[in-house]
Amino acid sequence: MAKKKLNKNWLHDHINDPYVKLAQKEGYRARAAYKLKEIDEDEKLIKPGQVIVDLGCTPGSWAQYTRRKLAGKDGGGIDGTLIGLDMLEMEPIADFHFIQGDFREARVLRQLEVVLQGRKADLVLSDMAPNLSGIATADAARMEHLIDLAIEFSQLHLKTSGCLLVKCFNGMGYSQIVEKFRAEFKVVTQKKPKASRDKSSEIFLLGRGVKHPVENKPAHDETPLDI
């Protein structure tokens, strides 16, 4: 009974959420677009000509926002390269290179290398989050693992002057995640956009400047990378 009431309350809040209404009006697939929009406007992350990689990009609202930022005023094409990776399917977005699969696998990395053409990314975005179990220790470990993957990906594919923006949760394990960011990036900023619900412990970490870049080797087989 309590769960049913909780679901009903969530649905009521969701329907009346101003960002949900705005997303529907402006054609975004999710209200999450406004979290990135606010952080971008504050930090000046997205600029014409950039190579941007979006990890866990489904359903695509961050991809929609980045595409609009790089689109020409005449509406034809974009100035830059947008790449998204996700294990889930995603409806196509114009000028957005979507690669379905696990970015730890050689097959997926080969596809990424084809699009990158030897270039490094200016910006890596990650709105990835685990399926929460309600068990604090387990959820914290899953979140930390996803952020470890985003950091490792950035060490391989991000320019040394580039930025990594990740979602995490302010709670158990958060201080360790911040310390990891500080160990791997020259400047670390914590962001809590207004579009993030007040009740949510969601917070975003922005790392600028890779301290320990790793030379990425071409993927030659189908074997998942050892992480």
Q: Is the predicted pLDDT of residue 76 greater than 90, yes or no?
A: no
Give the integer Cα–Cα distance in Å for 29 and 192.
21
CA 5 vs. chain centroid, Å, equals: 32
Residue 199 lies in a domain: yes
Instruction: Give the residue from 179, 181, 169 showing the smallest Cα distance to 207.
Output: 181
Specify the CATH number for the domain of residue 187: 3.40.50.150
**Burial class of 217 by CB neighbour count within 10 A (0 to 12, 13 to 18, 19+):** exposed
- Per the listing, tokens 């406007």 go with 41
Would you mind telling me the total number of residues written for the chain in this entry?
Answer: 227
pLDDT tens per residue, range 24-45: 999 999 999 999 999 999 999 9
Which one from 21, 167, 191, 199 is the annotated catalytic residue?
A: 167
Residues 6+ positions from 77 with CB-CB distance below 8 Å: 71, 95
Is the pLDDT higher at 183 or at 73? 183
pLDDT tens per residue, range 84-104: 999 999 999 999 999 999 999
Residue 222 lies in a domain: no
Tell whether residue 127 is among the known ligand binding residues. yes
Count of domains forming the chain: 1
Write the CA distances from 73 to 68, 70, 76, 77, integer angstroms.
10, 9, 8, 10
Tell which phi-psi region holds residue 132, choosing left (phi > 0), alpha (psi between -120 and 50) or beta: beta
Tell whether residue 226 is among the known ligand binding residues. no
Tell whether residue 10 is among the known ligand binding residues. no
Write the CA distances from 197 to 14, 19, 63, 75, 151, integer angstroms.
10, 10, 21, 33, 26
Mean pLDDT across 10-20: 71
Residue 24 lies in a domain: no
Tell whether residue 122 is among the known ligand binding residues. no
Residue 192 lies in a domain: yes
Residue 116 lies in a domain: yes
pLDDT tens per residue, range 139-185: 999 999 999 999 999 999 999 999 999 999 998 899 999 999 999 99
CA 214 vs. chain centroid, Å, equals: 20
Are 107 and 219 within 8 A, CB to CB? yes
Are 44 and 206 within 8 A, CB to CB? no
pLDDT bucket at 9, cuts 50 / 70 / 90: low
Q: Of the ranges 23-37, 42-56, 128-142, 207-221, which one carries the lowest mean pLDDT score?
A: 207-221
Is 167 one of the catalytic residues?
Answer: yes
Are 185 and 211 within 8 A, CB to CB? yes
Cα dihedral across residues 124, 143, 38, 59: positive or negative: positive
Find the helix or strand (DSSP H, E) in which 166 lies.
strand 158-169
Answer whether the bond into residue 59 is a cis peptide, omega within 30°: yes
Q: Of the ranges 13-22, 29-38, 126-135, 205-214, which one carries the lowest mean pLDDT score?
A: 13-22
pLDDT score at 221? 46
Q: Mean of the per-residue pLDDT values for the chain?
A: 89
Domain that holds residue 169: 31-210
Residue 17 lies in a domain: no
Residue 221 lies in a domain: no
In percent, how much of the chain has pLDDT > 70? Answer: 86
Cα of first residue to Cα of last residue in the chain, in angstroms, is: 42
pLDDT score at 227? 30
Are 119 and 158 within 8 A, CB to CB? no
Tell whether residue 62 is among the known ligand binding residues. yes
